[in-house]
């Protein structure tokens, strides 16, 4: 890396928060499920699914946290990384960029952010909600409560993201 070139963190999956987390948690659960079945073949399949879901919730955070590691960073001069960083800054501030190129980058990335938040809402309700309903049926009430807490956090983050996108959409409409 040339000296003086800043590096920016970049997520592995570019979707609106918390879409990537829900996808990674689901993938982790799918990967842990056969392990849980193999470890306790005498136990029920629903119990193995609830236990795999607990691992999935934790392991789903790892790809998200990897974006903060120094070795997993992209060059700031990459056009895609610049556009994503401009969008994140615009969403945080709630202001439309003054520069036309920045505005075009933000407009181009907004549907991706909206899609990620909607994936989190639908996937979170189906996945975490399903596990929360299933957990008490296998005498894992505490796990069910935990899934409800995770679902609440996911829905809150998705709501914040969708609210920011709507606010930025309104501001973009006002400047056109």
pTM attached to this predicted model: 0.79
What percent of the chain has pLDDT above 90?
Answer: 37
Mean of per-residue pLDDT scores for the chain = 80
- Model confidence pLDDT, tens digit, residues 153-173: 999 999 988 888 888 888 777
Sign of CA dihedral 82, 85, 91, 92: negative
pLDDT band per the 50, 70, 90 thresholds, residue 147: very high
> Quick one: pLDDT at residue 14?
64
Say if residue 134's pLDDT is above 90. yes
Higher-pLDDT residue of 77, 138? 138
| Mean pLDDT across 41-47 | 86
Tokens of 24: 């990674």
95-105 burial, b if ≥16 CB within 10 A, otherwise e?
Answer: ebbeeeebbeb
Top-confidence range, 72-76, 103-107, 151-155, 158-162: 151-155
pLDDT of 76 reads 45
Lowest mean pLDDT among 12-21, 35-44, 118-127: 12-21
Q: Which long-range contacts (CB under 8 A, 24 or more apart) does 155-159 make?
A: 155/120, 155/121, 155/124, 155/125, 157/17, 157/18, 157/120, 158/16, 158/17, 158/18, 158/19, 158/117, 158/118, 158/120, 158/121, 158/124
* 136, HSE (Cβ side, Cα atoms, 13 Å): 9
3-class SS at 139?
Answer: coil
Q: Residue 69 — pLDDT band, cuts 50, 70, 90?
A: low
Which residues fall within 8 angstroms of residue 20, CB to CB, at 6 or more apart?
11, 12, 13, 63, 64, 116
Lowest-confidence region among 49-53, 79-83, 132-136: 79-83
């Amino acid at each position: 890396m040339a000296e003086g070139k800043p590096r920016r963190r970049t997520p592995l999956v570019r979707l609106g928060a918390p879409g990537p987390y829900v996808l990674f948690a689901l993938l982790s659960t799918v990967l842990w499920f056969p392990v849980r079945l193999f470890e306790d073949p005498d136990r029920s399949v629903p119990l193995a699914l609830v236990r795999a879901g607990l691992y999935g919730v934790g392991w789903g955070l790892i790809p998200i946290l990897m974006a903060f590691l120094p070795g997993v960073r992209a060059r700031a001069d990459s056009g895609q990384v610049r556009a994503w960083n401009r969008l994140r800054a615009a969403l945080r501030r709630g202001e439309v960029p003054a520069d036309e190129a920045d505005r075009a980058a933000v407009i181009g990335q907004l549907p991706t952010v909206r899609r990620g938040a909607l994936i989190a809402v639908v996937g979170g309700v189906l996945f975490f909600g399903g596990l929360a309903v299933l957990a008490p049926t296998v005498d894992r009430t505490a796990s069910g409560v935990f899934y409800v807490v995770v679902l609440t956090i996911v829905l809150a983050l998705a709501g914040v993201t969708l609210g920011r996108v709507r606010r930025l959409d309104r501001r973009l409409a006002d400047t056109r």
